[in-house]
Amino acid sequence: MTLLHTGKAGTDESSDILIEITPSDTLSITLESKVESLYGKKIRAVIEETLKDMGITGATVHARDNGALDYAIRARVKAAVRMGRGEHDT
Amino acid sequence: MIQSGRMFHSDVLLLDLEDSVPLTDKLAARILVREALEHLTFENEVMVRINHFPLGRRDLKEIVCERLDSILYPKCESVHDIEEVKDVLQKLEKNYAIDKEIEIVAVIETAKGCLHCEEIAHGPRVTALTFGAEDFIADIGGIRSQESLFFLKSMVAISAASAGIQALDTVYPYIDDDEGLKKEAEESKKMGFCGKGAIHPRQLSIINSVFTPSQEEIAWAQKVISVMKEAEEKGMASAALDGRMIDTPTLKKARRITAIAEVIS
């Protein structure tokens, strides 16, 4: 299933990451993180791998990291994608 | 975040999908819980408070996995509520090839739930009862106090005992009031509760000190067991210990203390 609209998940709290994902033909990831130099490559890899697992080949991703572990990055990407596909509880 | 909760060595780590999560964030929260369950290592028992059905069905569909130990099910009002949850758990455990039965801890927090405590305690997979003080008080239109909660706490403790399951005391909401926390925990222990929820790590040492048998209690319990064993060998059902008559109920209490001490050790 493709993205229908923008999906957003996460917070700016410590140990979390805020992910905003918008439909696009190509994949681009913008990352803001205080640990960009140490972990930027890894964070981007986790985001890309999660998107690939979900069948997303094209999206504009904006990520604002505050020290999130891999499980949290994956969770927020998954949630943003699912919301972008129209899934919600309200 | 979730990973921090593992540092404090509580018996149970409770992850909440209910009241602390706004409706607009439920989906993200349940995905986060699922990822945590699958990828973090927990020494504690892991329990998730789901939403009351029907929303809770979506929670279970997302979070049921091998690492999940138990569900805290809020606003239980009848054994039918428990049976519904059990049916969903059973189906998901089969679909996901999970080789265990996820347990249910029922939360009593309404007047109706209070009056159906006994049947809820005997419900399938229910291993403990607890209660929600604030919701209960709101339901009955009262003011939170020892008096206004006494009947509910009694029903929870007695119903749990009748079913042979645990009664767990609710959280003490005043984080900086150590004395008040200790007092409430001690009162609950007298009523038959065997544990208490914490809403802040600083509460854990006080709660553990109240509910963990002391060395004196353990020594007393061991003495009771020994004296009663001698009495039994002589064909007697009671004995004297330290100027007091002891019999079957005392022995039962002593065995409970040593059993708890053994689990903790």
The pLDDT confidence band at residue B1, using thresholds 50, 70 and 90, is confident
Interface contact flag, A75 B36, Cβ < 8 Å = yes
Distance (Å, whole) CA B9 – CA B180:
23
| Phi, psi dihedral angles at B240 (to 5 degrees) | -115, 140
Mean pLDDT of B158-167: 96
Q: B105-147, pLDDT tens digit by residue? A: 999 999 999 999 999 999 999 999 999 999 999 999 999 999 9
SS3 B72: strand
How many helices and strands in chain B, by DSSP H and E?
Answer: 11, 9
| Phi, psi dihedral angles at B18 (to 5 degrees) | -95, -105
- Assign residue A4 a region: left if phi > 0, alpha if psi is -120 to 50, beta otherwise? alpha
- Per the structure, the count of domains in chain B is 2
Report H helices in A7-69. 36-53
Residues B196 and B181 in one domain: yes
Residues B131 and B30 in one domain: yes
Residues B124 and B203 in one domain: yes
Give the closest of A9, A16, A89 to B55, CB-based.
A89
**Structure-token pair, residue B46:** 């892991």
How many helices and strands in chain A, by DSSP H and E?
Answer: 2, 4
ipTM value of the model?
0.95
pLDDT score for A90: 62
Asked if residues B102 and B125 have their Cβ atoms less than 8 Å apart, the reply is: yes
Q: B114-125, pLDDT tens digit by residue? A: 999 999 999 999
- Assign residue B163 a region: left if phi > 0, alpha if psi is -120 to 50, beta otherwise? alpha
Secondary structure element (H or E) that encloses residue B15, with its range: strand B12-16
User: Average pLDDT of chain B?
Assistant: 94
Distance (Å, whole) CA B22 – CA B16:
11
Distance (Å, whole) CA B190 – CA B198:
19
| Phi, psi dihedral angles at A82 (to 5 degrees) | -65, -35
pLDDT score for B7: 75
**Residues in A touching B28 (Cβ below 8 Å):** 9-10, 75-76, 79, 83
**Structure-token pair, residue B80:** 């039918």
pLDDT of A2 > 90? The answer is no
Using CB atoms within 10 Å of the CB of residue B204, give its burial: 0 to 12 exposed, 13 to 18 middle, 19+ buried: middle
Q: B167-223, pLDDT tens digit by residue? A: 999 999 999 999 999 999 999 999 999 999 999 999 999 999 999 999 999 999 999
pLDDT score for B115: 98
* Domain range for B256: 215-264
Residues B138 and B184 in one domain: yes
For B50, how many CA atoms within 13 A lie in the half-sphere containing its CB?
28
Question: What b-and-e string marks burial along B127-149, b requiring 16 or more CB atoms within 10 Å of the CB?
Answer: bbbbbbbebbbebeeeeeeeeeb
Residues B195 and B221 in one domain: no
The pLDDT confidence band at residue A11, using thresholds 50, 70 and 90, is very high
Q: A15-36, pLDDT tens digit by residue? A: 999 999 999 999 999 999 988 8
Give the closest of B4, B26, B31 to A75, CB-based.
B31
What CATH number is attached to the domain comprising B135?
3.20.20.60
Interface contact flag, B27 A89, Cβ < 8 Å = yes
Taking Cα atoms as reference points, which of B124, B65, B125 lies closest to residue B93? B65
Residues B150 and B259 in one domain: no
Tell me which of B168, B185, B211 is where a domain ends. Answer: B211
Alpha-carbon dihedral of residues A52, A54, A60, A63, nearest 10 degrees?
-90
Percentage of chain A surpassing pLDDT 90?
88
For residue B180, give the amino acid letter. Answer: G
Those residues whose C-beta lies under 8 Å from the C-beta of residue B49, and which sit 6 or more positions away, are: B14, B15, B16, B17, B18, B71, B72, B73, B74, B107
Residues B128 and B241 in one domain: no
**Residues in B touching A85 (Cβ below 8 Å):** none
Residues B194 and B251 in one domain: no
Cα angle B24, A87, A18; round to 5: 55
Residues B196 and B260 in one domain: no
Distance (Å, whole) CA B250 – CA B244:
11
**Residues in A touching B5 (Cβ below 8 Å):** none
Interface contact flag, B28 A76, Cβ < 8 Å = yes
pLDDT of B20 > 90? The answer is yes
pLDDT of B5 > 90? The answer is no
Q: Which domains does chain A have, with CATH numbers?
A: 7-84 (3.30.230.10)
